């Protein structure tokens, strides 16, 4: 990849992940494969310290590998030998002693010295005329990556960035995102990622503009380059000319002004012109967001993603910590309800420090409820905390990633045991607490009629449902163009779930990103969704749209929409309808912003 001339303007197009426009300086970080960005000489007097830094990284790496090995779930235990081989590599003199010698002899930093050792080992392996042995070099690289990560951890944590910068990274994990010092970091752009990746969702929660899936951002941007990041359209301009800066400053102002005019009316209820009411709630990731939800007129919390307390700390959170957090959320939002979702770790949400075994295909792996049922200790602690918090507000409990009736029965059995435990201890909780499930796996759609008999509510998670139903990795930028909420298969699945809920007399919410997309609202109303739960920022926009629509019209429209056979036809139809029904959408600029804010693929 050739870099552009210094100072020359260049535009990249990525995927709008979190709205807003920022203009600022680039700061490159690498959180994926740890590149040796830092090659530097070490002062004679600092050499011992550098060696100690390397030794400490080796110790941490060893501890991590042992922990991963000990916590391997039964079904993968037979592969424990891989970790043994990694531990052996870690102890190999070519990795350890040789690197230390290099640091001392060549007076270079540990990362650089290790990289040189690995290069040497690679050369030796390449000469071996045995496919199996030469392919083992991957293991050596994996171990080296881990050591480098542990070295770089001591080098720079994202939380230490204390300049007003725009982060440019190949990738950021949701855990990295939580580390960002948001009073300093203006926003971020990444090479990889899709619209509904958890990293994108985190950026929205933190209210920092972000563009993902740019593919070449880290290759094209230099440290300190001036950037314009348009989180509404996915455009990133490197080294913008004066004209572009002025244009974007104006755009920024217009957008903020418009956002403000919408927000002013956000406390009015979401009632259609013909009197149909739909609950508008928020998805949150942190306790700190609850006040903002109230400020923008959110009528409760439809999804509290509880993973992030687990991602934030090195240790598992205690029951007391969880209880305090949930209790506070329940109390602040009361009398409105909060739906607390049990742990949904796995997929693209990894608690690296919990050392959950990395899987080749994590989205289909030991994720969410599967993980909890396999780790009853972790699960029970969380259930106890949620139940105890239920005594302090209006709390609902929700299980993620349910794929069939058995999982609901199993999860409810654990819940019942925990309730009995609390009864014995005479601890108070809400005995009528609603228990629901997320419908986000296609098998749950097929089973929705039966599932509805076992729960108090459904919440449709379209982020995952689209991923699993259309076989589109939600975090893969190469297939992002196929991620289509308007795909007729998705609309029909939602319809089937709503009918199942109606038949059993339970309520049905939708909490995927689709719920916050203005273009989707008429369809979701027509489908009969009772509650829409979205990122807090979208609430004022969505409420405004609901108030401009008629429920009867939306139902009639749906009859037409459901007969269309491609996502493109649905999109064309609905864009036309929405611009007719909500005149301000006719202002193309706003429509573009809104469309970009939401999750609609351009197809
Ligand atoms: C979903 O899958 O739609 C959802 C809301 O859950 P998450 O995005 O946390 O997977
Ligand atoms: Mg999900």
DSSP-assigned states of every residue in 274-285: TS-B-EEEEEES
Decide if 443 is inside a domain. yes
For residue 376, report the distance from its CA to the centre of ligand 1, in Å.
22
Which numbered atom of ligand 1 lies nearest the CA of 305?
Answer: 9
Query: Residue 176 maps to which CATH number?
Result: 3.50.30.10
How many domains are contained in the chain?
Answer: 3
CB neighbours (10 Å) of residue 30?
15
For residue 597, report the distance from its CA to the centre of ligand 1, in Å.
17
Decide if 33 is inside a domain. no
Supply the pLDDT for residue 603: 35
Supply the pLDDT for residue 417: 98
Which numbered atom of ligand 1 lies nearest the CA of 196?
Answer: 8
pLDDT in tens, 542-585: 999 999 999 999 999 999 999 999 999 999 999 889 888 887 76
Supply the pLDDT for residue 204: 83
Residues 355 and 457 grouped into a single domain: yes
Tally of CA atoms within 13 A in the half-sphere of 257 that contains its CB = 6
Decide if 161 is inside a domain. no
pTM of the complete model = 0.70
E-only strand ranges, 42-94:
none
Q: Which of 329, 222, 227, 240 is nearest to 285 (CA)?
A: 329
Supply the pLDDT for residue 591: 47
What is the best residue among 284, 305, 473 to mutate for testing ligand 1's pocket, by most ligand atoms within 8 Å of CB?
A: 305
Query: For the chain, which residues score pLDDT lower than 70?
Result: 1-6, 30-39, 71-80, 82, 130-135, 138, 152-160, 173-176, 178-179, 312-314, 347-359, 585-603
For residue 461, report the distance from its CA to the centre of ligand 2, in Å.
5
Place of tokens 């999804």: 303
Instruction: Report whether 487 contacts 539 (CB < 8 A).
Output: no
Residues 322 and 466 grouped into a single domain: yes
Which numbered atom of ligand 1 lies nearest the CA of 440?
Answer: 2
- Give the C-alpha separation, 492 to 482, whole Å: 17
- Ligand number nearest to the C-alpha of 198: 1
Query: Residue 119 maps to which CATH number?
Result: 1.10.274.10
Residues 203 and 295 grouped into a single domain: no
Q: Which of 556, 564, 549, 559 is nearest to 519 (CA)?
A: 549
Q: Which of 549, 540, 602 is nearest to 578 (CA)?
A: 549
Instruction: Report whether 529 contacts 510 (CB < 8 A).
Output: yes
Tokens of 358: 């990395």
Decide if 158 is inside a domain. no
- Distance, CA of 490 to chain centre: 21
Nearest 5°: the CA angle 176, 180, 184 is: 160
Supply the pLDDT for residue 414: 98
Ligand 1 contacts (CB < 6 A) are 303, 305, 344, 440, 461-464, 511-512
Q: Show the domain range for 502.
A: 265-602
For residue 141, report the distance from its CA to the centre of ligand 1, in Å.
33
Domain boundary among 151, 182, 216: 151
Angle between helices 47-70 and 97-106 (to 10 degrees): 160
**Per-residue DSSP letter, 209:** -
Question: What residue owns the CA closest to ligand 1's atom 7?
Answer: 463
Question: What residue owns the CA closest to ligand 1's atom 3?
Answer: 461
Residues 19 and 53 grouped into a single domain: no
Three-state DSSP class for residue 211: strand
Residues 452 and 568 grouped into a single domain: yes
Residues 404 and 520 grouped into a single domain: yes
For residue 253, report the distance from its CA to the centre of ligand 2, in Å.
34
Decide if 20 is inside a domain. yes
E-only strand ranges, 285-406:
301-305, 337-341, 394-399
Residues 335 and 239 grouped into a single domain: no
- Ligand number nearest to the C-alpha of 509: 1
What is the best residue among 511, 532, 534, 598 to mutate for testing ligand 1's pocket, by most ligand atoms within 8 Å of CB?
A: 511
Residues 387 and 281 grouped into a single domain: yes
Which numbered atom of ligand 1 lies nearest the CA of 464?
Answer: 2
Residues 22 and 120 grouped into a single domain: no
- Give the C-alpha separation, 113 to 116, whole Å: 5
Residues 232 and 302 grouped into a single domain: no
Supply the pLDDT for residue 74: 62
CB neighbours (10 Å) of residue 572?
13
Supply the pLDDT for residue 476: 83
For residue 85, report the distance from its CA to the centre of ligand 1, in Å.
36
Domain boundary among 105, 122, 151: 151
Decide if 38 is inside a domain. no
Q: Which of 205, 214, 153 is nearest to 177 (CA)?
A: 205
- Tell me the helix, strand and coil percentages in the chain, rounded to 5: 55, 15, 30
Tokens of 385: 């905390």
Neighbouring residues of 181: CB distance < 8 A, sequence distance ≥ 6: 158, 159, 160, 161, 162
For residue 428, report the distance from its CA to the centre of ligand 2, in Å.
30
CA–CA distances in Å: residue 345 to residues 48, 178, 362, 496: 40, 15, 10, 28
Neighbouring residues of 579: CB distance < 8 A, sequence distance ≥ 6: 585, 586, 591
Kindly give the pairing relationship between strand 210-212 and strand 187-190: parallel
- Ligand number nearest to the C-alpha of 485: 1
Q: How many helices (H) and strands (E) does the chain have?
A: 25, 16
- Give the C-alpha separation, 276 to 524, whole Å: 13
Place of tokens 């007076």: 107
Domain boundary among 151, 182, 198: 151
Decide if 2 is inside a domain. no
Question: What residue owns the CA closest to ligand 1's atom 8?
Answer: 463
- Ligand number nearest to the C-alpha of 339: 1
- Give the C-alpha separation, 286 to 293, whole Å: 11
Neighbouring residues of 539: CB distance < 8 A, sequence distance ≥ 6: 266, 280, 282, 293, 296, 297, 298, 516
Nearest 5°: the CA angle 101, 106, 110 is: 65
Residues 555 and 597 grouped into a single domain: yes
Known catalytic residues are 198, 511
What is the best residue among 461, 470, 515, 520 to mutate for testing ligand 1's pocket, by most ligand atoms within 8 Å of CB?
A: 461
Task: Describe the strand order of the beta sheet including 187-190 as a list of residue ranges.
Answer: 10-13, 235-238, 226-230, 21-29, 165-169, 187-190, 210-212, 15-18
Q: Which of 439, 445, 531 is nearest to 493 (CA)?
A: 445
pLDDT in tens, 79-115: 667 678 888 889 988 899 999 999 999 998 898 899 8
Instruction: Report whether 368 contacts 401 (CB < 8 A).
Output: yes
Residues 285 and 181 grouped into a single domain: no
Three-state DSSP class for residue 335: coil
What is the best residue among 402, 463, 490 to mutate for testing ligand 1's pocket, by most ligand atoms within 8 Å of CB?
A: 463
CB neighbours (10 Å) of residue 320?
11
Which numbered atom of ligand 1 lies nearest the CA of 307?
Answer: 9
Supply the pLDDT for residue 73: 56
Instruction: Report whether 210 contacts 231 (CB < 8 A).
Output: yes
- Distance, CA of 396 to chain centre: 22
Which numbered atom of ligand 1 lies nearest the CA of 283?
Answer: 5
Question: What residue owns the CA closest to ligand 1's atom 6?
Answer: 461
Decide if 34 is inside a domain. no
Instruction: Report whether 514 contacts 459 (CB < 8 A).
Output: no
Query: Residue 420 maps to which CATH number?
Result: 3.20.20.60
Alpha helices in 207-318 (DSSP H): 217-220, 242-263, 290-295, 307-312
């Amino acid at each position: 990849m050739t870099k552009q001339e210094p100072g020359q303007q260049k535009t990249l197009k990525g995927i709008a992940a979190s709205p807003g426009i920022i203009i600022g300086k680039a700061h490159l970080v690498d959180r994926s494969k740890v590149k040796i960005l830092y090659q530097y000489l070490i002062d004679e007097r600092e050499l011992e310290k550098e060696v100690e830094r390397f030794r400490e990284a080796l110790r941490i790496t060893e501890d991590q590998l042992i922990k991963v090995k000990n916590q391997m779930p039964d079904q993968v235990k037979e592969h424990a030998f891989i970790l043994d081989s990694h531990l052996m590599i870690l102890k190999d003199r070519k990795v350890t002693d040789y690197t230390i010698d290099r640091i001392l002899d060549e007076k270079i930093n540990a990362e650089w010295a290790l990289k040189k050792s690995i290069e040497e080992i690679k050369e030796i392996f390449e000469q071996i005329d045995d496919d199996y042995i030469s392919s083992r070099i991957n293991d050596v690289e994996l171990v080296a990556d881990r050591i480098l990560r542990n070295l770089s951890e001591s080098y720079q944590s994202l939380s230490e960035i204390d300049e007003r910068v725009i982060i440019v990274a190949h990738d950021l994990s949701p855990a990295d995102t939580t580390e960002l010092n948001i009073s300093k970091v203006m926003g971020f752009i990444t090479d990889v990622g899709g619209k509904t990746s958890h990293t994108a969702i985190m950026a929205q929660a933190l209210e920092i503009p972000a563009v993902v899936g740019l593919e070449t951002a880290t290759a094209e941007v230099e440290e300190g380059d001036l950037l314009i990041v348009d989180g509404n359209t996915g455009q990133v301009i490197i080294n913008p000319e004066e004209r572009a800066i002025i244009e974007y400053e104006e755009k920024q102002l217009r957008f903020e002004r418009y956002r403000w005019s919408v927000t002013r009316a956000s406390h009015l209820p979401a009632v259609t012109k013909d009197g149909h009411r739909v609950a508008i709630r928020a998805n949150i990731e942190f306790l700190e967001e609850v006040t903002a939800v109230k400020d923008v007129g959110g009528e409760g919390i439809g999804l509290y993603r509880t993973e992030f307390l687990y991602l934030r700390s090195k240790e598992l959170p205690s029951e007391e910590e969880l209880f305090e957090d949930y209790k506070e959320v329940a109390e602040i939002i009361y009398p409105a309800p909060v739906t607390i979702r049990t742990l949904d770790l796995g997929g693209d949400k990894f608690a690296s420090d919990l050392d959950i075994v990395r899987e080749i295909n994590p989205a289909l792996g030991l994720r969410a409820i599967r993980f909890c049922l396999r780790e009853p200790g972790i699960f029970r602690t969380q259930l106890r905390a949620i139940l105890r918090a239920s005594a302090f507000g209006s709390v609902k409990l929700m299980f993620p990633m349910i794929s069939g009736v058995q999982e609901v029965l199993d999860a409810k059995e654990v819940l019942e045991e925990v309730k009995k435990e609390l009864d014995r201890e005479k601890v108070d909780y809400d005995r009528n607490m609603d228990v629901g499930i997320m419908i986000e796996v296609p098998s749950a759609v097929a089973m929705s009629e039966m599932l509805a008999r076992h729960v108090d509510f459904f919440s449709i998670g379209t982020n995952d449902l689209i991923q699993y139903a259309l076989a589109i990795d939600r975090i893969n930028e190469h297939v992002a163009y196929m991620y289509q909420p308007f795909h007729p298969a998705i609309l029909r699945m939602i319809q089937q779930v709503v009918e199942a809920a109606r038949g059993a007399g339970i309520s049905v919410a939708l909490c995927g990103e689709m719920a916050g997309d203005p273009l989707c609202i008429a369809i979701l109303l027509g489908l009969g969704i009772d509650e829409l739960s979205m990122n807090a920022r979208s609430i004022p926009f969505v409420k405004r749209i609901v108030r401009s629509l008629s429920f009867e019209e939306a139902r009639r429209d749906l009859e037409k929409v459901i007969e269309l056979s491609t996502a493109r036809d649905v999109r064309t139809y609905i864009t036309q309808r929405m611009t007719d029904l909500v005149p301000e959408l006719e202002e193309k600029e706003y429509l573009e912003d809104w469309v970009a804010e939401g999750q609609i693929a351009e197809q």
